[in-house]
Structure 1
Amino acid sequence: MKFVDQQIKLTVENIDPPTTRESRHGALLPNTCRALVVGPSGCDVDGVQLFTFHENDEVIPPEKALPDSVFIFDDILCENQNIVRSYYTRCRHNNIDVFYLAQSFARIPKQLIRDNSNMIILFKQDETNLKHVYMEHCSGDMNYPEFKEFCTLCWSKGRFNFVVISKDCERDNGQYRHGFDTFVVI
């Protein structure tokens, strides 16, 4: 493949006013998190809890949630996913952070939830789930053996170590991490 630069140029000017907003969560996290936290039973993913909704119909829609709220959906793989889908597609408008806790990446609905996540936090995974993550989020950056080695090295550091894939970052500048603060350069 060859790219040939042309002498005649078409200029495109950005007329949007520049924005210099301070990040709500600091430099290591996106301004609004739409995260998936995935790990097998026993990795203590279930140890996080702020407020409990017992039924799907008790969860308020994102447009009625207070700005800067945090919603954590836990143990809902068998439930109706409509309210969760609405959070993953509309949470940015109210600066709402959303976390979806699950034991299996492959069982999280792809459309609107996996596709709209901007951060994936992976505890040790089996081969099937690891391949799903790779195919959806990493195949353009590295081959599968490299991805598997990266994950295995991170997980070998201890039971509660995890991999982070931050889809809002550049490949060699924070997209792939061991924990939140160790960047991996490919």
Structure 2
Amino acid sequence: MDVEDITYDEPAVSRRHNHYLLPQRSIRGLIIGKSDCGKTTLLNNLLLRDGWLDYDRLYVFGKSLHQPIYQLLHRALGKGFSKDDIRDLLSIKDRYPHSLVDVVQAMKPPPKPGGIEPFFFEEASDVPDPRELDPTRKNLMVFDDLMLSKQSKCEDYYVRGRHNNVDCFYLCQNYFKLPRQSIRENANFICLFEQDAKNRDHIRRDHCGDLTPAQFDALCDHCWAKPHGFMTIDLTSPKTAGKYRCNLDDFYRV
């Protein structure tokens, strides 16, 4: 039988232009590490530095929204400031005796809005179903260190989010406690800060079957040798072309 082109594409979605070192369609990312390891700093770099994550709607759900950086993002993006505007504010933060959040609140909105709409949620009941999001927008969902009882909302995005043009990142401390069939098996981009032996072994078994235990341990030790160092596992790339990296851009060839 000659195979015919019997296909059906979903309605047109807004084309993303993420950095070439990131998955180009449907990022289902995990940023894993203990408190104060650098997870939030890495996320902020991806969110605010030019050319990395391409999004025009930012959704954040977590228990840590009181953190100053989240308050600043919420106020500044909501007032129409751009990524560049926010980075400029952060670069001169030491000059201000007051909170940058208060400074933003007192400032006039820019004449030309930055084009990113923020939505922040503390209650699971307020988080929209991924099927409710507009697929013609560049949706980015961030889950920050959720309690186990609230992970069902996160699971929906890792299973169904790709159909509604959603990139997502989950910041968590423990890989082993993540739901396996929904989040762990659907993740395609993992940034891994230093982990204990148990979590390290589960990650290797789930995603790194092309490495021996000794090779994987050597990779971990190499990437974590420097403070705040992390390992990237890009499951959309082959082993010979960037699947394993130290930080985001140092390809590790085994």
Q: TM-score range by the shorter chain?
A: 0.7 to 0.9
Give the drift of 1:97. Answer: 0.8
Pairs aligned (count): 172
Secondary structure class of the residue paired with 1:99:
strand
Provide the rounded CA distance (Å) in 2 between the counterparts of 1:149 and 1:54.
39
Provide the rounded CA distance (Å) in 2 between the counterparts of 1:91 and 1:68.
12
Secondary structure class of the residue paired with 2:149:
coil
Residue of structure 1 aligned with 2:121, choices 50, 53, 67: 53
Counterpart residue identity of residue 36, structure 1: L
What's 1:98 paired with?
168
| 1:167 and 2:235 are equivalent in the alignment | yes
Provide the rounded CA distance (Å) in 2 between the counterparts of 1:13 and 1:122.
42
Q: 1:45–1:101: 8 Å Cα contact kept in structure 2?
A: yes
Residue of structure 2 aligned with 1:148, choices 217, 237, 243: 217
Provide the rounded CA distance (Å) in 1 between the counterparts of 2:4 and 2:37.
46
What's 1:185 paired with?
253
What's 2:21 paired with?
28
Q: With the length of structure 1 as denominator, give the TM-score of the two structures.
A: 0.83
Cα pair distance change 1:13/1:174, threshold 3 Å = farther
Counterpart residue identity of residue 202, structure 2: H
Secondary structure class of the residue paired with 2:121:
coil
Provide the rounded CA distance (Å) in 1 between the counterparts of 2:227 and 2:215.
21
Provide the rounded CA distance (Å) in 1 between the counterparts of 2:22 and 2:193.
18
Counterpart residue identity of residue 105, structure 1: Y
| 1:37 and 2:31 are equivalent in the alignment | yes
Give the drift of 1:115. Answer: 0.6
Provide the rounded CA distance (Å) in 2 between the counterparts of 1:26 and 1:46.
19
Give the drift of 1:44. Answer: 2.9
Q: 2:16–2:138: 8 Å Cα contact kept in structure 1?
A: no
Give the drift of 1:52. Answer: 3.0
| 1:118 and 2:188 are equivalent in the alignment | yes
Give the drift of 1:13. Answer: 5.5
What does the per-residue CA deviation read over 1:101-142, in whole Å, with 9 as the maximum and x for residues that have no partner? 100110111111111111111001111110010111112x11
**For structure 2, which runs of at least 5 residues remain unmatched after alignment?**
10-14, 45-69, 74-118
Cα pair distance change 1:80/1:142, threshold 3 Å = same
Provide the rounded CA distance (Å) in 1 between the counterparts of 2:36 and 2:19.
30
Provide the rounded CA distance (Å) in 2 between the counterparts of 1:170 and 1:23.
22
Residue of structure 2 aligned with 1:76, choices 118, 142, 146: 146
Q: With the length of structure 2 as denominator, give the TM-score of the two structures.
A: 0.62
Q: 1:88–1:113: 8 Å Cα contact kept in structure 2?
A: yes
Secondary structure class of the residue paired with 2:125:
helix
The two structures, once aligned, show a CA RMSD in angstroms of 2.3
**For structure 1, which runs of at least 5 residues remain unmatched after alignment?**
1-10
Larger deviation, residues 147-156 vs 70-79: 70-79
Provide the rounded CA distance (Å) in 1 between the counterparts of 2:192 and 2:37.
10
Structure 1 or 2: larger helix share? 2
What does the per-residue CA deviation read over 1:2-34, in whole Å, with 9 as the maximum and x for residues that have no partner? xxxxxxxxx9757379x9xx7621321112210
Q: 1:36–1:101: 8 Å Cα contact kept in structure 2?
A: yes
